[in-house]
């Protein structure tokens, strides 16, 4: 497949100013795309924007990804991220990349292109752990991160499980599963007055923490147990564990 020929055939295709072998295209006023060919000419780094559009940001993402393509797409991970990115007007501090089996773009009209396309997007270092399974990477990309929304907030990586005998709430899965940070903030306070209940969570660097209620808050993890903490202390601690990058 001649990638450059393919790119020039997209709707409203035009060269991306300031970046060699890169093009932009769009579908109506809402969906905007940009792509750059990798150094070997055999793969496409593509970034998508929905609604709000910023070509400068797209160019910066593609340039950053092209310079670090081995780390982003050369190690066979379904989802990877490289920190150190910055763009004026944005808080993003990383660029992430998803493998073809994660994103599935182009599979209806050009499945051969799908196989060589890697979607790259501006991200936050807290969002990707690099150990995601294929299913977890798909869930993060397709449901949790809204990667084409350039005005989005960070969604730090989190896996958790919980059980609360008092409320009857609990996770349906065996072991820890992906969750939104708001779920952690919501479930920890519900443990008060519920002996035997717990909330357990894992952050992006693989640390596992557990909080329970035993006439007070009990926090346990790699550093042992902590007693005598207030609820605000526990919530603040949990928040900090998710912000490690």
112-131 tens-digit pLDDT:
999 999 999 999 999 999 99
Q: Which residues of the chain have pLDDT under 50?
A: none
Q: What is the pLDDT of residue 245?
A: 67
Tell me the whole-structure pTM to 2 decimals: 0.93
What is the chain's mean pLDDT, rounded? 94
Q: What is the pLDDT of residue 108?
A: 84
Q: What is the pLDDT of residue 234?
A: 96
**CA dist list (Å): 158 to 30, 94, 123, 187, 231:** 31, 18, 15, 14, 20
């Amino acid at each position: 497949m001649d990638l450059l020929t393919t790119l020039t055939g997209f709707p409203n295709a035009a060269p991306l100013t300031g970046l060699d072998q890169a093009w932009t295209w769009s579908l109506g006023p809402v969906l905007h795309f940009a792509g750059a060919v990798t150094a070997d000419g055999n793969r496409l780094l593509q970034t998508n924007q929905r609604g709000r559009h910023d070509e400068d940001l797209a160019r910066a993402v593609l340039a950053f990804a092209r310079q670090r393509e081995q780390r982003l797409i050369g190690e066979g991970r379904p989802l990877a991220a490289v920190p150190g990115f910055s763009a004026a007007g944005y808080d993003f501090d990383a660029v992430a990349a998803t493998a073809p089996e994660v994103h599935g773009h182009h599979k209806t009209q050009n499945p051969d292109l799908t196989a060589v396309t890697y979607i790259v997007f501006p991200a936050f270092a807290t969002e990707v752990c690099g150990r995601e399974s294929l299913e977890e990477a798909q869930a993060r990309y397709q449901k949790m991160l809204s990667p084409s929304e350039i005005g989005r907030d960070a969604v730090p990586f989190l896996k958790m499980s919980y059980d609360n005998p008092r409320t009857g709430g609990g996770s349906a899965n065996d072991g820890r599963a992906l969750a939104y940070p708001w779920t952690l903030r919501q479930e920890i306070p519900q443990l008060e007055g519920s002996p035997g209940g717990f909330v357990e969570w894992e952050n992006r660097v693989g640390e596992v923490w557990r909080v329970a209620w035993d006439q007070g808050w009990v926090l346990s993890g790699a550093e042992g147990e902590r007693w005598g903490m207030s609820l605000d202390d526990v919530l603040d601690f949990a928040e900090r564990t998710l912000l490690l990058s």
